[in-house]
Amino acid sequence: MCTVSTFASSQSFIATMNRDERRLRLEGPLFCAETHCYPTDAHAGGTWCGINCYGLIFCLLNRYDAPLSSEATMISRGDIIPQALQCTTADEVSEFISSLDLARYNGFRLQVFSNTVCRQYDWDRTQQSTTEHEDPNQVFSSSSSLRSLSIPNEREQRYRAYRQQQNAAGIDTQTIGTIPSLHLHDPTVPPSDALFMVRRDTHTKSICQMAFSDGKAHLHYWPAQNGFDENRVERWSQALQVVNSPSVKSAKSGH
């Protein structure tokens, strides 16, 4: 149960992600290496998002519209991004996805962003599909274990209205390290349906923002273990590596 939205300009690219989880499932500390960084799940050790200094951002959402398997041979979806962060180009990510034994994973949606590629990989336990987003400034994706189709659709409608209001007001910038109001508490929406979600057994566990700007990769992480505090933030920043790959530049057109 997560939500991701993007904002892109000539100066920066920003992806903001709410993570919704069971109240009793805790998050661990940030894992930060020289080349990549991601928040961690204290229960399983994996992650739901991450960024590397090669200019790649990853966000993973569960597919609640896909059948769920509890077989012992299944692999945690949280293991996907830590491996994908070793990739240096978008083409390497495609090769990595192709190498996965997808039958051992429950359904997921993996969003991959760079300054040249805005790509979505879907696995619904039957087939894998790939979608190229045409506009990196207008990407929105959400999942929900409750009303798995209608709630994400309603959230996307609110996102579109939010962006229209921004455009009408002439707002064409977003500050890195500041959470868009869309991702915070909205008193006009039932808490169980909101992006900043509150239910009896689950809630928005944290918010993570990943960005490229001024030749650097940035990650800002707001954990909400003991109540959400927008001023409590953990940060990581690293200079981007220059990777020259003609194949990446052509990836947006679908090869």
- Under 8 Å CB-to-CB from 47, ≥6 apart: which residues? 31, 38, 39, 40, 41, 60, 78, 81, 82
The three-state secondary structure class of 167 is: helix
Question: Residue 1: how many CB atoms within 10 A of its CB?
Answer: 24
Do residues 219 and 58 lie in contact, with contact meaning Cβ atoms separated by under 8 Å? no
pTM exceeding 0.85: yes
CATH number of 2-253: 3.60.60.10
Q: Where are the domains of the chain?
A: 2-253
Share of the chain above pLDDT 70, in %: 94
CA dist., res. 43 & res. 24, Å (int): 10
Q: Report residue 107 as tokens.
A: 């359904």
pLDDT in tens, 176-228: 999 999 999 899 999 999 999 999 999 999 999 999 998 999 999 999 866 77
230, 231, 235, 239 alpha-carbon torsion, rounded to 10°: 90
